[in-house]
């Protein structure tokens, strides 16, 4: 059956219907991930978008009941080039097309996705529609329908994907912290990653108030990913400001990064075609570390690499940027406990380079104890938690008196104050699917070797900066039921021990250091200059245009003489331009390459 992909500028691609038939409208975007299409389709951040896969073959592993990142497929439409004719995977319960049909997602296959991606890269993401079956009409009429659809700028979408009621993801093993997570489009794997670190996650609706947050007495606050224009998220932005005023440790990702940016006084803007894929580099400027990340966003926070700026809560800094376009990828408070990144550390799907950000969140909550679990590890035994700081910088008198009375009562009976309320399992007609094991890498933090003088029941959680002192909260937790909550079960990876892990996650590779005087900056210099520096420091000859190094005598001998440190080849790399100029002797040797280059240009 014929299907059409119609863009708002009049460009039309003709193919075959894939999935459901009919009409769908949304913003046309592309994603470069070669794997993880099920996670992509169920990512709430793609709500009301028509997703085009740059990878030509899609659907090989079918569809299963374990990899969903939300309750349903979220995309408005789906565009592929060569869908698999049959699924081949031991976990598959059906085909990708069957899942699209069952959930009414209109798609198209067989178009030149390469040409479509180039068009979107040059012209930018734009409104589009997929039409098939009875929805087909004259081209002009279809273009007019597309132009009548709403723009993504100004779109308020997070309310369409948030949870209707609070639910709880219990900690795997012993509960160490309690986190309130604002659901503006959260993916299932995010609370799993926190649960694997002993965090009990209370997922709250996007309309939650600061009173609902404070009632949990959380150790931290989490801002999730989500769809739409951050300029419309006034409610979450105001809630984030109230959290910052109370000095509750805050961690945000993706849409949450933009919410935090607005709360700190930064503006946001729409990218031309966005960042969507699982191989996007990010630079952490404090360390020079390069992480390959999973991303899905069409808006960004304004700012420059390393920029330090003032906020109502103290100084903050831009900590991460993308080397591809300079886009802000992260920020952090200098004088207050908050940080965020624009990418997805939960990596569903994607690389695990950024998984340590959840460990940093644990460290932040340990260093700034304000909740039940955090304060229990720092306060003297028998004393109540201190009240949250008030927005005006003072402590409310009534709250102070109440806490003092509670502390006196606790000291009198000689027992620990009540821990954070535990949520009991409640039946739910729309129960989230059973959570699967976390990614194959065991992500549970490893307790360090006990110090020579540990405190009774001592426990030192490990963060990126090293161990920090603290203790486990009391095992006697209040299991009172809450009639407004449900549980999202979490299953630890097979073979995972009750505590700890066998080995730490492998460190992320960094860009090779080029530390000799006069060498190029690896973040800004042309790559050819970086290659010259690498070959020079590695003891191999640079290309003929490189300048000789006056300190060449001081360079240690190359451990593998003749090997190129950039390419790994046993001989120097041919750095001549391609295609070669007319009359070049290499042209007759490879006549097909010139034709291929010409095809690439067209």
- The domains located in the chain, with CATH, are 2-147 (3.50.30.20), 156-381+416-511 (3.40.50.880), 527-601 (no CATH)
Residue 347's CB: how many other CB atoms inside 10 A?
22
What's the angle, vertex CA 71, arms to CA 104 and CA 205, rounded to 5? 125
Q: Is 277 exposed, middle or buried (0-12, 13-18, 19+ CB in 10 A)?
A: buried
pLDDT for the residue 2 = 94
pLDDT for the residue 351 = 76
How far is residue 369's CA from residue 218's CA, in Å, rounded to a whole number?
Answer: 10
Is residue 17 within 8 Å of 132, Cβ to Cβ? Answer: yes
How far is residue 131's CA from residue 97's CA, in Å, rounded to a whole number?
Answer: 16
pLDDT for the residue 582 = 58
Which member of 8, 254, 327, 368 is catalytic? 254
Residue 255's CB: how many other CB atoms inside 10 A?
31
Instruction: Tell whether the torsion through CA atoms of 278, 283, 284 and 287 is positive or negative.
Output: positive
pLDDT for the residue 346 = 86
Nearest to 477 by CA among 566, 415, 549, 397: 415
Asked if 322 is an active-site residue, the reply is: no
Q: Whole-model pTM?
A: 0.66
How far is residue 170's CA from residue 532's CA, in Å, rounded to a whole number?
Answer: 52
The structure tokens listed for 473 are 């909260």
How far is residue 280's CA from residue 64's CA, in Å, rounded to a whole number?
Answer: 27
**What does pLDDT average to in each consecutive run of 10 residues of the chain (602 residues)?**
95 96 96 92 95 95 94 96 93 95 96 95 95 95 96 92 94 93 95 93 95 93 95 96 95 96 96 92 92 92 93 96 94 96 86 85 91 53 55 47 43 38 35 33 38 37 36 39 40 43 38 43 53 56 45 46 50 48 47 42 44
Nearest to 336 by CA among 358, 314, 362: 314
Is residue 75 within 8 Å of 50, Cβ to Cβ? Answer: yes
Asked if 346 is an active-site residue, the reply is: yes
Nearest to 460 by CA among 474, 445, 447: 447
Provide the terminal-to-terminal Cα distance of the chain, rounded to the nearest Å: 29
How far is residue 501's CA from residue 310's CA, in Å, rounded to a whole number?
Answer: 40
Phi, psi torsion values for 373, nearest 5 degrees:
-65, -45
The structure tokens listed for 110 are 């067989």
**One-letter-per-residue 3-state SS of 544-600:** CCCCCCCCHHHCCCCCCCCCCCCCCCCCCCCCCCCCCCCCCCHHHHCHHHHHHHHHH
Residue 441's CB: how many other CB atoms inside 10 A?
14
Phi, psi torsion values for 553, nearest 5 degrees:
-70, -25
Which member of 97, 245, 329, 346 is catalytic? 346
pLDDT for the residue 272 = 93
Q: Is 250 exposed, middle or buried (0-12, 13-18, 19+ CB in 10 A)?
A: buried
């Amino acid at each position: 059956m014929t299907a059409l992909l119609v863009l708002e500028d009049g460009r039309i691609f003709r193919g075959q219907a894939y999935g459901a038939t009919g009409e769908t409208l949304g913003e046309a975007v592309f994603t470069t991930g070669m794997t993880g299409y099920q996670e992509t389709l169920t990512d709430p951040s793609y709500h009301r978008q028509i997703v085009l896969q740059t990878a030509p073959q899609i659907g090989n592993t079918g569809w299963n009941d374990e990899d969903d990142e939300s309750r349903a497929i979220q995309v408005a439409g789906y565009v592929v080039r060569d869908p698999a004719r049959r699924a081949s995977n031991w976990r598959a319960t059906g085909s990708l097309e069957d899942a699209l049909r069952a959930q009414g997602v209109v798609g198209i296959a067989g178009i030149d996705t390469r040409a479509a991606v180039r068009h979107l890269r040059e012209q930018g993401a734009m409104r589009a529609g997929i039409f098939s079956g009875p929805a087909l009409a004259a081209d002009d009429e279809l273009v007019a329908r597309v132009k009548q659809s709403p723009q993504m700028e100004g779109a308020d979408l997070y309310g369409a994907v948030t949870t209707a009621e609070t639910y709880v993801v219990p900690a795997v093993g012993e509960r160490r912290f309690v986190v309130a997570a604002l659901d503006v489009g959260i993916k299932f794997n995010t609370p799993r990653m926190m649960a694997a670190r002993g965090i009990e996650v209370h997922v709250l609706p996007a309309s939650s108030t600061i009173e609902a947050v404070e009632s949990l007495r959380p150790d931290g606050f989490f801002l999730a990913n989500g769809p739409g224009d951050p300029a419309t998220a006034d409610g979450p932005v105001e809630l984030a400001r109230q959290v910052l005023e109370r000095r509750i440790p805050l961690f945000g990702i993706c849409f949450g990064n933009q919410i935090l940016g607005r709360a700190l006084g930064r503006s946001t803007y729409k990218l031309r075609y966005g960042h969507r894929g699982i191989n996007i580099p990010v630079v952490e400027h404090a360390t020079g570390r390069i992480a390959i990340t999973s991303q899905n966003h069409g808006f960004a926070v304004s700012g420059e690499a390393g920029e330090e700026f003032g906020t109502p809560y103290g100084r903050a800094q831009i900590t991460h940027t993308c080397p591809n376009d300079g886009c802000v990828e992260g920020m952090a408070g200098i004088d207050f406990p908050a940080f965020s990144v624009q990418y997805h550390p939960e990596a569903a799907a994607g690389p695990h380079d950024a998984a340590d950000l959840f460990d940093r969140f644990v460290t932040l909550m340990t260093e700034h104890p304000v909740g039940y679990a955090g304060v229990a590890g720092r306060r003297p035994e028998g004393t109540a938690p201190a009240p949250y700081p008030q927005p005006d910088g003072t402590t409310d008198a009534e709250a102070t008196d109440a806490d003092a009375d509670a502390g006196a009562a606790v000291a009198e009976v000689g027992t620990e104050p009540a821990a954070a309320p535990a949520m009991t399992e409640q039946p739910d007609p729309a129960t989230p699917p059973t959570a699967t094991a976390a990614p194959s890498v065991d992500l549970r933090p490893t307790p360090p070797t006990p110090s020579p003088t540990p405190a009774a029941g001592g426990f030192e959680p490990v963060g990126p900066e090293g161990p920090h002192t603290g203790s486990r909260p009391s095992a006697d937790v209040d299991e009172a039921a809450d009639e407004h909550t449900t549980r999202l079960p979490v299953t630890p990876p097979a073979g995972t021990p009750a505590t700890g892990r066998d080995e730490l996650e492998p460190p992320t590779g960094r860009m090779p250091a080029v530390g000799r005087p006069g060498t190029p900056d690896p973040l800004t210099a042309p790559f050819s200059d970086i290659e010259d520096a690498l070959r020079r420091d590695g003891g191999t000859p640079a290309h003929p245009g490189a300048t000789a190094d006056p300190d060449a005598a001081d360079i240690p001998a190359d451990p593998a003489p003749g090997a190129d440190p950039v390419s790994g080849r046993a001989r120097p790399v041919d750095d001549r331009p391609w295609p070669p100029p007319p009359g070049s002797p290499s042209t007759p040797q490879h006549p097909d390459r010139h034709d291929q280059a010409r095809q690439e240009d067209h």
